[in-house]
Amino acid sequence: MVFSSLIFLYLFLPSCILLYYAWNNRTYRNALLTLYSLVFYAWGEPIWVTLLIFSASLDYGNALLIEKHRGTVWAKVGLWSSVVLNLGLLFLFKYSGFIYENVNLLLGTHFSIPQFALPIGISFYTFQTISYVLDVYRNEVPAQRNYLNFLLFVSLFHQLVAGPIVRYVHIADEIDNRKFNIADIAGGIHRFCIGLFKKVCIANVAGELVVKYLDSDFNNLTVAGGWFGLLMFTLQIYFDFSGYSDMAIGMGRMFGFHYHENFDYPYISRSSTEFWRRWHISLGSFFRDYVYIPLGGKVHKPYRNLFIVWFLTGFWHGASWNFILWGLYFGVLIALERLFLKKVMDALPRFVSHLYLLFAVVLGWALFYFTDLHRLGAFMNILFGASANPAWNLEISLTLKEHLFWLILALILCTPVYLWAYKKLYQKLEDRSLSFGQLALTLANILLLLGSTAMLVGKSYNPFLYFRF
């Protein structure tokens, strides 16, 4: 699906843009985008596109039922049928095997474990449609009466398979009212090229080093190699997911949609609380608005609500105990920060609180990476010198020397330095000549695209980590 998706973007995106702007008719454009989106999904998932359409149809009908019978028992029927059926499908495909495995382990039974291929993007579009039905039930947005328009919202190929989670209320007006805007197209192309570069030239390179160190024989892994491999995963997961989010936001702008930001340089944070305001913003805001606040937020049993949310956040990422531990790990950190740790860190120099956050996050990624808890324990022993493994060897020295300039670039791109420099440079170019500034931006896009394409052609390692979530 990963390679197929990139083939689609390279071959079909230009044709889609040309056909899209060939006729200024809303119905035509919505139908074209819906068709392309369904073809995009069916390209890699020809069977499960029916599940996507079923989910969209269910929630389209239930929203109309809720609006028609607002305040009656039928509105509640519409709400709960959407929530239960959507989450039921998500549990069936994503979590049933995990539940059967643990029941067998706990009770000594021998139930056969279901083997389902996880429909790509189901975690994202399930939350999107549930949030839509909940917003209609709360009377925060009117139900969409045009089925084609609603199917477009659910299936938009820009963010369908790996997010961000787009809420209907954020793009409801743009589904009906989008206009040609050359600045949006130019900005969208640049954002797409930036995202592609981050994904291919940073995340993929880091990913190869992750496999080399974290998937190696731990008998031969040094302490430095363990920390280096974990740092590489820290870079890989950020540039992989933020790169895809940039590509999705960029493609959305090319067609007149303005999605909310999903990442805001999370590694410059000074606390876990701040980190999660900057990381995967669409997921965090979903759990805040539809779970944490309805449970009582900070008013009624705040710490219970906090741990429920972080249990669900971990479990959303995968059907494995390590993801649950990872979620609860951040729940504990945030609880401690609320109790006293945040005040302590605020009283210390800024670099100290920043180092605390980086250490906490990097260590947390070990919980996220290793689904085998025995292997996780062995890795932790190596990290903290509790094993007989050596601290350093020649291999890690050569690896650092070979990737030094790439590593410096990756670390710089984790900060807003590029954004600041880009704004300053583009402003100066615009002051001199608008056409000169546009030419410089075009050349930058071409270089980013050519470099990324060359890396794609020359490398076979090209995963999208969040496709599996």
Distances (CA, A) of 217 to 92, 376, 389: 35, 13, 11
Catalytic site residue from 300, 317, 354, 374: 317
pLDDT of amino acid 434: 55
pTM, whole model, 2 decimals? 0.91
pLDDT for the residue 3: 45
Q: Would you give per-residue pLDDT tens digits along the chain (469 residues)?
A: 444 455 556 667 888 888 999 988 999 999 999 998 998 888 777 888 999 999 999 999 999 999 999 999 999 999 999 999 999 999 998 988 888 888 888 888 888 877 777 788 888 999 999 999 999 999 999 999 999 999 999 999 888 877 799 999 999 999 988 888 888 888 899 999 999 999 999 999 999 999 999 999 999 999 999 999 999 999 999 999 999 999 999 999 999 999 999 999 999 999 999 999 999 999 999 999 999 999 998 899 999 999 999 999 999 998 899 999 999 999 999 999 999 998 998 888 999 999 999 999 999 999 999 999 999 999 999 999 999 899 999 999 999 999 999 999 999 999 998 777 767 766 665 555 556 667 777 788 888 888 887 887 766 566 666 555 5
| Domain boundaries of the chain, sorted by first residue | 2-179, 184-468
Look at residue 430 in the predicted model and tell me its pLDDT: 54
**If DSSP states are collapsed to H, E and C, what string results for the chain?**
CHHHHHHHHHHHHHHHHHHHCCCCCHHHHHHHHHHHHHHHHHHHCCCCHHHHHHHHHHHHHHHHHHHHCCCCHHHHHHHHHHHHHHHHHHHHHHHHHHHHHHHHHHHCCCCCCCCCCCCCCHHHHHHHHHHHHHHHHCCCCCCCCCHHHHHHHHHCCCCCCCCCCCCHHHHHHHHHCCCCCHHHHHHHHHHHHHHHHHHHHHHHHHHHHHHHHHCCCHHHCCHHHHHHHHHHHHHHHHHHHHHHHHHHHHHHHHCCCCCCCCCCCHHHCCCHHHHHHHCCHHHHHHHHHHHHHHHCCCCCCHHHHHHHHHHHHHHHHCCCHHHHHHHHHHHHHHHHHHHHHHHHHHHCCHHHHHHHHHHHHHHHHHHHHCCCHHHHHHHHHHHCCCCCCCCCCHHHHHHHHHCHHHHHHHHHHCCCHHHHHHHHHHHHHHHHCHHHHHHHHHHHHHHHHHHHHHHHHHCCCCCCHHHHC
Tell me how far apart the alpha carbons of residues 229 and 239 are, in angstroms, rounded to a whole number: 15
317 labelled catalytic: yes
The per-residue pLDDT for 1 is 44
